[in-house]
Amino acid sequence: MKDQYNRKIEYLRVSVTDRCNLRCVYCMPKDGIKQVAHNQILTYDEIIRICRICAGEGISKIKLTGGEPLVRKNLSELLCRLKGLEGVEQVTLTTNGVLLTEQIEDLAAAGLDAVNISLDTLDSSQYKAITRRDELDKALFGLKTVLKYPNISVKVNCVILPGINETQWIPLAGLAAEKHVDVRFIEMMPIGLGKSYPGSSQQEVLEKLEEAYGKPEALSGRFGNGPAVYVGFPEFCGKVGFISAVSHQFCGECNRVRLTAEGFLKPCLQYSTGEDLRKLLRDGAADKELKDVIKKVIFEKPRCHRFSAAENAEENTEDNLELKQMSSIGG
C-alpha cells in the first residue's frame, strides 16, 4: 500500500495491551494509568482478522508491542497465527525483557524473528529510579537467554535521558562490543509524559561513544524494519544505531502505521487521527469495508510530524494532536 506521498507502507505495529509491569517515568504515571476494560481490548481473533486484511494489501512486517506485550497471556499463540498469514514475512517483538526468560522458548517455537529489549541503564539503582521497579536482573537475564537463539535478531533500545542516564551511554553501547546485539539510542518523543523531559541529539551521544571506542564507521543499508541509522566501532560484535525523530526527521521514509490495543488505527504517532476498527469489527463490517477504511487511513497518512516547536503548520493544532500516554498508543 502507498500513501498520498507515495511512501510504501509495509510495517504495522500492533499493541496487544495497555498494561505494563514497569512504571517508566517518561511513559507512565507513578500509580499507572486507568486500565481499559478487558472487553474493550481487541481479541486475538480480531487482531488476526485485521492483520490478514492488511497483509493482503501489502503489510509484510508486524511488530507486537504494548504496554508490555508479554503481560498478555498466550502471546506465542498470537505470534504463531500471525506467522501463518499469507504475505507476512516477519513478526517481531518489543519488550522490557522482564518476562522474556520464561516465555522465549514458546516464542521461538512460534517463529519469532526479532526482539527489541528496552533498557535505559545497566545500573540497578538507576534502573529502579527510572522504571520504579527493581527488575534489572530479570531484564538482563532475559537478554542473556534470548541470545541463545541464533535465529532471533536482538536489539537493545535506550531512550536518551540527559542528566539521568548519560553515564550509561558508553556501558550500554559496550553490549554491542561483547555480544551479537545492536544497541540503539532513541531520542525522547515529546508525547505524553515525554514532553517533560529535555531532549538530547544523536550527535551528543555519538561524541561520547567516539571518545570511548574510537572513530565510528557509518554503515549503509537497512538493518531492520524501522528508521534507525547505524555505525560500527572497531572490533565490535554488533552495531550501534540511532533513532532520531526530532533532530534527524525521517518522515519522508516512514513505512509504518499503528494499531492500538483498543483497535484504533493510527497513521502517525503525533496525531490523534485514524479510524476505530474495533467498532467496525463489532458492528459486523465485512472484509471489504474494513479494507477500504484501512486503505483510507494509510492513504491519508500525514506528510510529517511537528515535534519541533519551531515548526508550525495547520496540521499542528490542538484539535488533532495526540494527548494519550505512549503506553496507551503502543510503544
Q: How far apart, in whole angstroms, are the C-alpha atoms of residue 78 and residue 16?
A: 10
188 is in an annotated binding site: no
Angle at 40 between CA 36 and CA 43, to 5 degrees: 120
Rg, C-alpha atoms of the chain: 19
Place of cell 511488530: 63
268 is in an annotated binding site: yes
138 is in an annotated binding site: no
Do the Cβ atoms of 271 and 284 come closer than 8 Å? no
- For residue 130, the cross-strand partners are none
326 is in an annotated binding site: no
Q: How far apart, in whole angstroms, are the C-alpha atoms of residue 42 and residue 275?
A: 14
Place of cell 523531559: 197
155 is in an annotated binding site: yes
81 is in an annotated binding site: no
- Chain center to CA of 55: 19
258 is in an annotated binding site: yes
257 is in an annotated binding site: yes
237 is in an annotated binding site: no
20 is in an annotated binding site: yes
125 is in an annotated binding site: no
52 is in an annotated binding site: no
DSSP 220-253: -S--SSS--EEEE-TT-SS-EEEE-TTTS--GGG
- Distances in whole angstroms, Cα of residue 153 to Cα of each of 45, 182, 241: 27, 9, 14
13 is in an annotated binding site: yes
67 is in an annotated binding site: yes
Residue count of the chain: 331
Do the Cβ atoms of 96 and 28 come closer than 8 Å? no
Q: Can you say which residues are annotated as belonging to the binding site for S-adenosyl-L-methionine? A: 26, 67, 118, 189
Q: Can you say which residues are annotated as belonging to the binding site for GTP? A: 13, 94, 155, 256-258
Q: Can you say which residues are annotated as belonging to the binding site for [4Fe-4S] cluster? A: 20, 24, 27, 251, 254, 268
